[in-house]
Every structure is written in C-alpha cells, then in structure tokens.
Structure 1
Amino acid sequence: MEYLLELAASPTAWIALATLIVMEVVLGIDNLIFISILTNKLPEQFRTRARRIGIGLALILRLGLLSTIAYIVQLTTPVFEVLGQAFSWKDMILIAGGLFLVWKATSEIHHNMSLQAEEKTNSVASKVTVGFAAAIGQILMLDLVFSIDSIVTAVGMTEHLPIMVIAVVVAVLVMLLASEPLAKFINENPTVVMLALAFLIMIGMTLIAEGFGAHVPKGYVYAAMAFSATVETLNILARRAREKRESAVVK
C-alpha cells in the first residue's frame, strides 16, 4: 500500500502513466481496425458479441502477459542466428503476425474486388460471411501479437507494474467504447474498408521489418495513416455534399 501511495504522489509516475496510456491507445488502434473489419463479415446479430469477445480477449491476454513480465522480457533474448541476423521469440512472433496480417488484408482486398466485379454483372449479390468461431480464432491470434508488442512497449517505458496495468485497462476500455462507432463507420463507407485494409498491410510490413531488426519509427506510420484518413474524410464529406445537391435537384 505504501508503494502505491508513493507512486500516486510522484509527478514522474503520473507523466509515465499518461504517456503509456497514449502509447497503448495508439497501439490498440491497429488491433481495433482488424477486429472491426473481421466482425463486419459476421451476420449482424453476432457482430457486437464478437467485438466484445475480441476486445475482452485482448484485455485478458495483456493482463496475463503482465503477470509474466520476467518471461516477456526474456522473449527479446536471441535464440538463434541466421546469416548474422539474430532472432528472438518476439521477433518470430512479430514476423508471423505480420505475415498473417499481410495475407489476411490482401485476401480481403481480393475478395472485395471480386465482389464488386460480381455486383456489376449480377443484380443481386449474396454477402459472404465468416463463421463465428473462425472470426474469434483469427482475432485471438492477432490479439496475441498486438498484446506482446503492447506489453514489451510498456516494459520499456516504465518499471512499475501498477502503471502498466492501469494503462492497459484504460487503453482496452477506449477500444471497447470506440469499437461500435468505428465498425459502423467502416461498414457504412465501403471505400474506408479498402483504406483500412491498406493500413493493415502497412502495419503487417512494419511488424515483419521489426521482426528482422529494422526499427520503423511508429510516428511515421501513424502520420501516414492520419494523412490518408484525413483525405478519405474529405472525400466522404464531398461525396455526401454532392448526393445532397443531387437529391435537392430531383425534388
């Protein structure tokens, strides 16, 4: 208890907490985009439940990993070397997760393009959905990758476990609150789906690069994402304004 009171009275601890919360929320955006895209392929009555389960699993994994910090730190220790390049368990997990993200995003883009071509030739096109268990399985796999990245980041920023726990819980709560609006927005704007899938490919390539020891500053990645999102927002606003003008002319 005395230890917690000392932390609460320390300005440095509050600064570390605020910084870590921001970092965890930013890292959680990647996780949330993937969950939103995948759950939107489920039948509508299962989407909210799947999103909550996916985010709940993310919280459980993060808190579970925090309880094994000593082991998590060891994940960064090289276990073998290939052509002078050392690889740790963290590197291999990041590479595997990045490859999965690139494969999944690429297959989704191919599916969306094929579906658009089918809609041009057929007046009615059935919407393809994924199974609930399959969706949860894929979410769980990416939750694990993002959770390890999240916890390693937390360990690198502070040595105080209470600060890590609070930051992780707050970040996951933000994900939970943002999940419904984000999923609805993505579902209502098909062009945003392509943009989000492109983000996932970029994130996947970043994870692969990190796994091979090439550090990619997260600021560059998120700046590119923010710029692209701003351009897409302007396109959406322009499209809606044009639709309003056209409907006003028809009336």
Structure 2
Amino acid sequence: MELLIALVALAAMEIVLGIDNIVFIAIVTSRLPMEQQPKARKIGLLMAMVMRIALLFTLSLILQADEPFYDLADLGFPKAEWIAEAEAEIAALPAADSQEAHDSHAKRFELTMWIHTIEEMAGVSWKDIILLAGGLFLIQSSVREIHEAFHGKSASHSSQAVTTFGAAIVTITGMDIVFSIDSVITAVGMVEAEGENYLKGLSVMVTAIVLAVAVMMIFAEPVSKFVSDHPTLKMLALSFLILIGVMLVAEGIGTHFNKGYIYFAMAFAIAVEILNLRLRHGRGQEKSA
C-alpha cells in the first residue's frame, strides 16, 4: 500500500514537473511542417522518458553531480568574510534557551539559511553548470522567438537552428536532459531506494515516469494545437519559458525558488488568458450577429 501511494504521488509530481517540458516541445515543434509535428512531439516525450530512466539508473552519478568540484573563493569570492559576518551576528543573538530567544528565532534561521546560500553560491558542481547552461539557452531561444514574432517573421523564416525535423529532435533532447535533472532528484527525494528497498524504489520511480510520460503524450497534442491556434497564448508560453529559464539560472548559481509559487503564477496567468479568450470570442459573435 505504501508503494502504491508513493507511485501515485510521484506520478502526479512528475506530470507537474513535465508541464514546462510540454510547453517547450510545443514551441519547438511549431516551427516544423504540420504533418511532422505529432511525430516530433511523441519522439520528444519518449526521449524525455528515456533520459529520466537513464538518469535513475545512474543514480550515484546524479548525487555526485551535486557535489562541488571547484570553490569560487579561489577566484576572490568573499565566502569566508560573508560567513564570518553571519556567524558573528548569530553569536550576538540571545542564547537559544533564554527568554529573548523566541523573538530572535526567525533571525537565527534567516542567518543560517544565508550561510547555506553562500556555500552553495561559492561551490561549483556539474549540476550547477547544466542548470545554468539550460536556463541561458531557454532565455535566449524564447527571447529570439518573441523578437521574431514582433518583427512579423513566420516560422519558415525563423532561425535555422530549429527548422528541420532532426534539428528539432536534437534541441528537444538537449533540453530534456536539463528538465530531467529536477524530475529525477524529485523522484529520489520522494521514494526510498537504498539498501534492501533499492529495487522496489527504483521500480516505483521507473513506473511513475512511464505513467507520467504516457499522460503527457495524451495531452501534448491538444496543448500544442491550442497554443498554436492562439498567438497570445503562444506569447504567454514563451514568457513562461523565460521565467523557467531565469529559475534554472538562479538554481545554477545557488539561489533556490519555491517552484510551487512559479507553477501557481503560471496557472493563474493561463486562467486569466482563457477568460480573455472567452471574452474576445463572445464579442466576436456579437459583432457577427
């Protein structure tokens, strides 16, 4: 029963984490001829599934990728000075068992988290590099798409980076690697897969990923068609990709965001845009009547 609950919870989480992947695939495949788009979406999502499962089977490498291999303090980053200042402020706070400690608890927690952030910002890991590169790529490609939309360039006259089927698949696969990292780390955090539970935990994670990708495949085409048919929604989707890119860059430099806030903002913006679409549709019917 416990494994079933973990499977359902993880599959739901994987679907949520896959939303940004679906949006990215929808934008990239929109540059292709109509007859190639469904095939590209399916291959893109299958590659996402393969990447996630491959990363799960190299779990130890993923965990090691989070370990810093270089310290920016060697380049002059004031890590020691900032940590010393924060520790001095903590030392100046009332003792934990004193009467005044209750009021200073929030300040102590804030300073402790600041020390943790400094250490993360100073340490460079392969995960940081992948997230940083992926975030910058998302921002660059989304800004380029918006620029081309404002200058009236059609998909066929867009940048040649994603105009062929093969190039689209390569682009999608590259970003699948970036999106897969968060997905795999979430899976590892939610399911116990150590010692005797390793095989059971791994089977739960693989099953959850397969189920999530199956659900995404069902909704990828309607989502892509809806985005393509409504230019304002496509602009909103590109804005989401910029937001996600900024989040990845922030994660790459050691500043963490609560993704729940970002997903809530995306859902709220979509709800407002759907209301606008319904309003415009209603006014269009009134004028034609």
With structure 1 as the length reference, what TM-score do the two structures score?
Answer: 0.88
Alpha-carbon shift at residue 126 of structure 1 (Å): 7.9
Give the equivalent residue in structure 2 for 1:128: 157
Alpha-carbon shift at residue 193 of structure 1 (Å): 0.5
**Aligned counterpart in structure 1 of residue 131 of structure 2, from 94, 99, 123:** 94
Gaps of 5+ in 2: 80-121, 193-200
Gaps of 5+ in 1: 1-10, 119-124
Summarize deviations over 1:120-176 as a string: whole Å, max 9, x none.
xxxxx7843612122111101100101122111111111211111111111111111
**Distance (whole Å) between structure 1 residues aligned to residue 156 and residue 252 of structure 2:** 36
Alignment of 1:227-238 (within 5 A): 227-238=268-279
Give the equivalent residue in structure 1 for 2:195: none
**Aligned counterpart in structure 2 of residue 140 of structure 1, from 155, 166, 173:** 173
Alpha-carbon shift at residue 228 of structure 1 (Å): 0.4
Provide closer, same or farther for how the CA distance between residues 71 and 46 of structure 1 changes in structure 2, counting only shifts above 3 A.
Answer: same
2:124 counterpart SS class: strand
Provide closer, same or farther for how the CA distance between residues 240 and 127 of structure 1 changes in structure 2, counting only shifts above 3 A.
Answer: farther
Alpha-carbon shift at residue 215 of structure 1 (Å): 1.2
Provide closer, same or farther for how the CA distance between residues 136 and 126 of structure 1 changes in structure 2, counting only shifts above 3 A.
Answer: closer
Q: Which amino acid is 2:181 matched to?
A: I
Give the equivalent residue in structure 1 for 2:151: 114
1:104 aligns with 2:144: no
Alpha-carbon shift at residue 245 of structure 1 (Å): 1.1
Q: Which amino acid is 2:263 matched to?
A: Y
- Contact 1:101–1:200 (8 Å) recurs in 2: yes
Give the equivalent residue in structure 2 for 1:74: 64
Alignment of 1:22-101 (within 5 A): 22-82=12-72, 83=77, 84=79, 85-101=122-138
- Contact 1:41–1:128 (8 Å) recurs in 2: no
**Distance (whole Å) between structure 1 residues aligned to residue 185 and residue 61 of structure 2:** 11
1:78 counterpart SS class: coil
Give the equivalent residue in structure 2 for 1:245: 286
**Distance (whole Å) between structure 1 residues aligned to residue 45 and residue 155 of structure 2:** 29
- Contact 2:31–2:155 (8 Å) recurs in 1: no
1:213 counterpart SS class: coil
**Aligned counterpart in structure 1 of residue 3 of structure 2, from 13, 37, 44:** 13
Identical residues among aligned pairs (%): 47
Give the equivalent residue in structure 2 for 1:7: none
- Contact 2:10–2:208 (8 Å) recurs in 1: yes
Give the equivalent residue in structure 1 for 2:100: none
Give the equivalent residue in structure 2 for 1:192: 233
> CA RMSD for the aligned pairs?
1.4
Give the equivalent residue in structure 1 for 2:251: 210
Q: Which amino acid is 2:13 matched to?
A: M
Alpha-carbon shift at residue 19 of structure 1 (Å): 1.8
Alpha-carbon shift at residue 179 of structure 1 (Å): 0.8
Provide closer, same or farther for how the CA distance between residues 126 and 177 of structure 1 changes in structure 2, counting only shifts above 3 A.
Answer: closer
Q: Which structure has the larger Rg over C-alpha atoms?
A: 2
Structure 1 outlier segments of 4+, above 6 Å: none
**Aligned counterpart in structure 1 of residue 212 of structure 2, from 165, 171, 181:** 171
**Distance (whole Å) between structure 1 residues aligned to residue 169 and residue 5 of structure 2:** 36
**Distance (whole Å) between structure 1 residues aligned to residue 8 and residue 124 of structure 2:** 32
With structure 2 as the length reference, what TM-score do the two structures score?
Answer: 0.77
